[in-house]
Amino acid sequence: MLIILLGPPGAGKGTQAEKIVEKFSLVYIATGDILRKAVKEGSTLGRKAREYMDQGQLVPDNLVVEIVRDRLMEPDCVNGALLDGFPRTVDQAVFLEQVLPDIETQVDRVLLIEVDENELIERLTGRRVCGDCGASFHVKYKPPRVRNVCDQCGGDLYQRDDDSLATVTERLEVYKNQTEPLVEFYEGRGVLEKIDGNQDIDDVSDQINSALEKL
């Protein structure tokens, strides 16, 4: 089973992914997390990706598709995976369709989480992320029990460099121009399901669970 989480930055994909992987026993693949780890480690991939990420631009397709293909080929993905932040361009989606037969799987559902733009800005600029386990919090909407400390692992929380107001604005623009065409692409494949992401975290989760239980 392959599920894709689609939606603008800040829509709540990572927040919902945590709940989905637990409930449906899927392997979680978030290209943003993989790229941030590469940047932190200073690997060749990280050095190439950094300049794009800092500016809120997409990392070139050829770098990203290799990562996803290799990860999907790993044995733990045999029972299914949840993709977050990939594909982000139509070319990436076409690439994904080409590699799926090799692992005998298909895209079962694309969950499009829709959120109003003002709310996205509020969510992104208030987001705090755990430097150790990647869990995400929000200063107002999902505050940790202890200020700047991760509820799950006790790690320190930090603000992502690309969650500054200037970069957020750029990322939302990039989403509209380069990623939104995927809505039509997956509508055409008959697998798109729209989720109202303006609701509370638990209500969004309920809507997602109903969509996935139908599968």
Q: Given the rule CB under 6 A, which residues bind ligand AMP? A: 9, 31-32, 35, 52-53, 56-59, 64, 85-86, 88, 92, 162, 171
What is the spatial distance between Cα 207 and Cα 96, in angstroms, rounded to a whole number?
A: 26
Find the binder of ligand ADP among 36, 50, 109, 123 (CB under 6 A).
123
CA-nearest of 57, 67, 1, 7 to 31 is 67
What is the spatial distance between Cα 123 and Cα 10, in angstroms, rounded to a whole number?
A: 6
Q: Which residue's structure tokens are 């799926």? A: 100
Find the binder of ligand ADP among 10, 56, 87, 134 (CB under 6 A).
10
What is the spatial distance between Cα 115 and Cα 194, in angstroms, rounded to a whole number?
A: 11
To ligand ADP, the closest distance from the beta carbon of 113 in angstroms equals: 7
Q: What's at 121, amino acid-wise?
A: I
What is the spatial distance between Cα 83 and Cα 78, in angstroms, rounded to a whole number?
A: 14
Find the binder of ligand ADP among 24, 28, 52, 141 (CB under 6 A).
141
Active site residue 109: no
Residues that bind ligand ADP (CB under 6 A): 7, 9-15, 123, 126-127, 136-138, 141-142, 200-201, 204
Catalytic residues: 13, 88, 127, 160, 171
